[in-house]
């Protein structure tokens, strides 16, 4: 019998962070299928069914001892609604990539920054990453600000990164070293 290998849940002011669970597809679809949410994504999920496929793949990976991909969500502590999601992808050699997305109805509330903090903490403190990377479409100033708040430094720009709909934008690559993370005091 295999058991799930889950990251621990984290509580921050007003939000609880946990890995995706079996019944999350519809709650994630509520915001992940909106045009505002999808604006800067290269891969756009358009329906509950598409999100359910990704969710089931994630749940199957939770049983792998060689797990390299993690999906988390932020749950509003007051309403119980899922309001943000994020991922950690272990790249090897001590590197991890993180990414986050926030329900447009709660933009500018700090939820994205908290999601990023949790992702970095999990990657560095729980999964032993020595460096964390994130990619931001160059015009996505909100995500670039979050990366800056978290201590990421822009390393380079790659072009083009498709956002779909026949549009292309440069992609900025950011890096945060584990020692910089601990110096900033974001440990959870």
How many domains is the chain partitioned into structurally?
1
pLDDT digits (tens, 9 = 90+) for 84-122: 999 999 999 999 999 999 999 999 999 999 999 999 999
Distance of alpha carbon 84 from alpha carbon 114, whole angstroms:
10
Provide the CATH number for the domain around residue 122: 3.40.630.30
Residue with the bigger pLDDT between 163 and 95: it is: 95
Structural domain harbouring 66? 10-184
In a domain, 164, yes or no: yes
pLDDT digits (tens, 9 = 90+) for 25-75: 999 999 989 988 888 777 777 889 989 998 998 888 888 888 899 999 999
Which two structure tokens, joined as six digits, stand for 112? 């994205």
H or E element in which residue 57 lies: helix 48-61
- Please answer whether residues 87 and 73 qualify as being in contact, where contact means their C-beta atoms are separated by less than 8 angstroms: no
In a domain, 4, yes or no: no
In a domain, 92, yes or no: yes
């Amino acid at each position: 019998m295999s058991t799930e290998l889950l990251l621990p849940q984290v509580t921050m002011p007003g939000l609880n962070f946990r890995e995706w669970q079996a019944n999350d597809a519809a709650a994630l679809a509520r915001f992940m299928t909106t045009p505002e949410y999808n604006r800067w994504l290269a891969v756009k999920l358009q329906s509950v069914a598409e999100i359910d496929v990704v969710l089931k793949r994630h749940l199957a990976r939770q049983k792998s001892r060689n797990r390299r991909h993690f999906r988390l969500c932020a749950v509003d502590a007051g309403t119980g609604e899922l309001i943000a999601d994020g991922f950690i992808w272990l790249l090897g050699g001590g590197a991890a990539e993180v990414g986050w997305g926030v329900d447009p109805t709660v933009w500018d509330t700090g939820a994205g920054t908290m999601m990023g903090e949790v992702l970095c903490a999990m990657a560095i403190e729980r999964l032993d990453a020595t460096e964390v990377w994130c990619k931001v479409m160059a015009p996505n100033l909100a995500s670039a600000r979050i990366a800056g708040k978290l201590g990421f430094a822009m390393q380079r720009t790659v072009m083009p990164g498709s956002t779909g709909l026949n549009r292309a934008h440069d992609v900025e690559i950011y890096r945060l070293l584990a020692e910089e993370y601990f110096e900033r005091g974001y440990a959870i």
